[in-house]
Amino acid sequence: MFEAERIAGTDFEPSRLREYLRPPFRKFEFSTPMSPVHAARVLQEIVEPPRKWGWRTSAKRGYFEGRVAGSRFKIHRVTGYQNSFLPIIEGNFRRDGLKTIVTLKMRLVWPVVPFWIGIIIFLAWSSVSVDSVVAGPFGVRMAVIAMTLFIYLVATVPFAIEVRVAMKRLLELLRSGSAGSDLSF
């Protein structure tokens, strides 16, 4: 869908304004000195099993919730509150010489996307349609355009904030490991 954004430095400091305006889909790629097996094991340590109907299925208290299976994973951050804009993080580990490349795809929860896009399309169409029932005079049309922009930002800004929080944790976790700890694999 999008070209992967490569993260080369040690800190995740994207251009803030651009990140808040981008659609709520991201793809990142970075390298770690760990092997794919070791990286998966390190990630598994902070991932708790998925909940069933909102109830924990394990006593394990992790930073993320989801599944890590082999060189692939699908997780999201655990919060103490409801947040429809938490990114779903799907990723994989692949060996590249002496390092491992971690590829991450971040997106909104699927039921939120059509609802959000539907509202934006309805408001945008209402503001430009000649015989709009919603927007008549020019001032009302400008208000509808402002509402469209606001609804767009309602999803992109919290998503960008949550991406930043999750990426900082993942970079801290996966870049700090040593490559020599699992040479027997």
**pLDDT tens digits for 98-125?**
889 999 999 998 888 999 999 999 888 8
Name the nearest CA neighbour of 64 among 83, 82, 36, 44. Answer: 44
Q: In this predicted structure, what is the pLDDT of residue 90? A: 95
At residue 107, the pLDDT reads 93
Interval 74-88: pLDDT, tens: 999 888 778 888 999
Tell me, yes or no, if the pTM score tops 0.85: no
The conformational region for residue 70 under phi > 0 = left, psi -120 to 50 = alpha, else beta, is left
Q: How is the chain split into domains, by residue range?
A: 5-177
pLDDT at 183: 37
Quick one: pLDDT at residue 63?
82
The total of other beta-carbon atoms located within 10 Å of residue 126's CB is 18
| Pairing relationship of beta strands 64-69 and 47-48 according to DSSP bridges | parallel
Please list the ranges in the chain whose pLDDT falls under 50. Answer: 1, 178-185
